[in-house]
């Protein structure tokens, strides 16, 4: 099995916890892939320095990516195409809580710890994203990591979210282990972060193409407060016929590249309509796309340094749906579209369950934007959500996984050609 750690520091500290037979991927170091803007896709707003959630000062992101095996699915053995993503609101240097809120565009999914976030407006743990059947082990591993770090408080409710990678990954084999969670947490860093087939997004599919992890940010002008809004998305939702980029239904105009099996299996794997799914080399061009129900999910994390209280962060989290709407989503019945937003401002305002031993009075001072000043934050959230999803798809690479199922990356050349045909491509000078 291959483990890829996204790091900017030396990885020697992790070698004792890496299991025998596992190796580190060189591609995770200094990896650069094209992003939406590199392809000439027109996008609104001004991004931050990295165009990433890490443009919000203090936020750190870490990944563990697990890829091994090929061929028929054998539960407990593989093939493995999965991982873990860790988002630390204030970085590993401090796990001091932040104000937060969550919202579900459609609730056919899971995000643990949200009852307390809803009740108190406080987030006291890292945010983790993985596959549907590894939520439990990730949650328990976060608790163990916090205990070892001596984080104050009698208990915590880790926020762990999921999307299903069951097409490409032996998800029922539960290949994510405690050490993988620890690696993601300990590898977290600021600055540039990788996108595409990394972390929890490794085995995900989005709008009929290979999906994964994507990020983007917006920097507001000085007259609007100079605040930063950053988004990270684990994209695993939507149908190809719905896909819109720059307002154009590109999913309907791109030819070929529909998911298929790299080789025939016996018995054949069948789709939701009961029909055998196509073998790649036997596919023929069709004027109509194969209809597949919306059965995926998306997790979106919004970070900002704007001074927002939990009720305002709830309003921000709701705006993620509008960013997704630009991509063509309907929040389908089978989708778990769950979003969490937090603010790094108002440090020390509320320690939640971790306040043991701290003075309760006098009450802290809390800064809060007026309602009228929220609109630029809403706009930034919508724009960054849209771009983060596109970045996830643009960075993703074609992957063949369990039972030879192949998910194709969106073809950059065809995408550019479609946008050019509609006058929506920014041509390189």
Catalytic residues: 297, 335, 337
Bridge partners (DSSP) listed for residue 23: 2
- Which residue is it, tokens 């239904």? 249
- Backbone region of residue 78 per phi and psi (left: phi > 0; alpha: psi in -120 to 50; beta: other values): left
**CA dist., res. 319 & res. 105, Å (int):** 10
**CA dist., res. 65 & res. 327, Å (int):** 27
Helix (H) or strand (E) holding 13: none
- Which residue is it, tokens 């992003």? 35
Cβ contact 268:341 at 8 Å = no
Helix (H) or strand (E) holding 102: strand 98-107
**What are the backbone angles phi and psi of residue 269, rounded to the nearest 5°?**
-85, 140
Lookup: tokens for 144: 């163990």
Tell me how crowded residue 422 is: count the other CB atoms within 10 A of its CB: 13
Buried b / exposed e over 247-266, threshold 16 CB at 10 Å, is: ebbbbeebeebbbbbbeebe
| Helical H segments across 105-176, by residue range | 114-120, 135-148
Lookup: tokens for 226: 């100079």
**CA dist., res. 307 & res. 337, Å (int):** 26
Q: Which parts of 164-223 are beta strand (E)?
A: 205-206, 209-210, 212-219
Cβ contact 300:231 at 8 Å = yes
């Amino acid at each position: 099995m291959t483990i890829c750690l996204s790091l900017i520091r030396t990885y020697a500290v992790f070698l004792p916890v890496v299991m025998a037979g596992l190796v580190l991927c060189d591609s995770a170091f200094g990896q650069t892939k094209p992003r939406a803007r590199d392809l000439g896709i027109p996008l609104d707003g001004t991004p931050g320095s990295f165009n990433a959630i890490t443009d919000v000062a203090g936020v750190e992101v870490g990944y563990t990516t697990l890829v091994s095996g090929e061929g028929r699915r054998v539960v407990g053995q593989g093939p493995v195409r999965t991982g873990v993503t860790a988002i630390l609101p204030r970085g590993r240097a401090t796990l001091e809580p932040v104000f937060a809120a969550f919202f579900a565009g459609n609730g056919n999914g899971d995000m643990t710890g949200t009852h307390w976030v809803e009740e108190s407006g406080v987030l006291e743990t890292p945010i983790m994203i993985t596959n549907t059947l590894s939520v439990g082990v990730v949650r328990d591993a976060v608790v163990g990591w916090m205990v070892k770090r001596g984080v104050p408080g009698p208990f915590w409710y880790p926020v762990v979210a999921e999307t299903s990678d069951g097409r490409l990954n032996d998800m029922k084999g539960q290949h994510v282990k405690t050490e993988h969670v620890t690696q993601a947490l300990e590898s977290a860093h600021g600055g540039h972060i990788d996108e595409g087939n990394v972390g929890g997004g490794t085995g995900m599919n989005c709008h009929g193409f290979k999906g994964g992890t994507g990020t983007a940010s917006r920097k507001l002008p000085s007259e609007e407060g100079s605040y930063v809004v950053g988004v990270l998305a684990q994209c695993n939702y939507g149908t190809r016929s719905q896909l819109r980029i720059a307002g154009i239904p590109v999913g309907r105009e791109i030819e070929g590249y529909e998911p298929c099996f790299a080789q025939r299996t016996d018995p054949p794997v069948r789709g939701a309509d009961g029909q055998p799914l196509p073998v790649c080399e036997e596919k023929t061009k069709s004027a109509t796309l194969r209809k597949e129900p919306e059965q995926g999910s998306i997790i979106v994390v919004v970070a900002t340094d704007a001074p927002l209280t939990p009720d305002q962060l709830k309003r921000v989290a709701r705006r993620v749906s509008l960013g997704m709407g630009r991509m063509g989503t309907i929040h389908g019945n089978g989708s778990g579209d769950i979003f969490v937003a937090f603010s790094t401002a108002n440090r020390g305002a509320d320690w939640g369950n971790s306040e043991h031993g701290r003075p309760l009075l006098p009450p802290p001072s809390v800064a809060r934007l007026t309602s009228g000043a929220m609109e630029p934050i809403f706009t930034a959230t919508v724009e960054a959500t849209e771009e983060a999803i596109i970045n996830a798809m643009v960075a993703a690479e074609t992957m063949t996984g369990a039972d030879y199922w192949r998910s194709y990356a969106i073809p950059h050349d065809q995408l550019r050609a479609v946008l050019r045909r509609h006058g929506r491509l920014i041509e390189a000078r």
